[in-house]
Amino acid sequence: MAGRLAGKRVLVTQADDYMGPPTLEIFRAEGAEVIADRSDLTAPEAAQNAVDEAGPIDVLVANLAAYNQAGRKLDTVDDATFAEMFEVMVYPLHRLVRAVAPQMTERQAGKIVVYGSASPLRGIPFLAAYSSARGAQVGYVRSMGTELAPHNIQINLIAQNWVESDTYFPPAVREHPKFIARMQAQVPAGRLAKPEEDVALAVFLASDESDYFVGQCIPFSGGWVQ
């Protein structure tokens, strides 16, 4: 039985981090030919190189993660710390979209799925740099959604939090009693999401089933934001 992504060529960035590993596995199980990019995308030319090396791409999965700045008070967030969040998560997103859009426009078809964060949708103290960069991703996706939609290219963002991942919630963290208590107090669902639950939404957004979703920022956080 063919999968929901059968015949699609998919480029997944930062393939070893954040949502990369489960995305590679599940997208391949859904029939996609997946190109795993592991390059450092902070260099200005890196995104274009990654797209050029991948060749024709039906789906771009922009998986961009930086270690957050939890616990950093305002007076400890210097310019370099603030800028780093944008260098890792915002500029690469723009460069990737800019690189892949011409070929998708020529074919008049394409999907761009961004793994983002719910953090800018709810005020969190001591997280200004990270939340600002994640918020910039949201604004970018909303704007580009309207620009690319006339070419039958859909770009959407999964605004996630409380999802199992070794990047943000490694085992030592998610097994700590204080973390469990905080999660149960803040998340109506009362648990972390499994990676495959998150990727299931990405599969939908990468498939032909999501053609009418344009520039959406979709919360995925067990009710932490709605």
User: From first to last of its 226 residues, what are the pLDDT tens digits of the chain?
Assistant: 589 999 999 999 999 999 999 999 999 999 999 999 999 999 999 999 999 999 999 999 999 998 766 668 888 889 998 999 999 999 999 999 999 999 999 999 999 999 999 999 998 888 899 999 999 999 999 999 999 999 999 999 999 999 998 888 889 988 999 999 999 999 999 999 999 999 999 999 999 999 999 999 999 999 999 8
| Cα–Cα nearest to 49, from 63, 59, 35 | 35
Q: Which helix (H) or strand (E) holds 61?
A: strand 59-63
What pLDDT is stored for residue 70 in this prediction? 66
Whether residue 169 contacts residue 151, with contact meaning beta carbons closer than 8 Å, is answered with: no
Which overall architecture, per CATH, does domain 9-165+193-220 show? 3-Layer(aba) Sandwich (3.40)
Spell out the domain ranges in the chain.
9-165+193-220
Separation between Cα atoms, residue 176 and residue 50, nearest integer Å: 38
What pLDDT is stored for residue 1 in this prediction? 52
Q: How far is CA 139 from its chain centroid? A: 14
Angle between helices 46-54 and 91-107 (to 10 degrees): 30
Alpha helices (H) in the chain, listed in sequence order: 20-29, 46-54, 79-89, 91-107, 128-148, 171-174, 177-186, 195-206
The number of C-alpha atoms within 13 Å of 129 and in the hemisphere containing its C-beta is: 23
What pLDDT is stored for residue 124 in this prediction? 87
Separation between Cα atoms, residue 149 and residue 215, nearest integer Å: 9
What pLDDT is stored for residue 220 in this prediction? 97
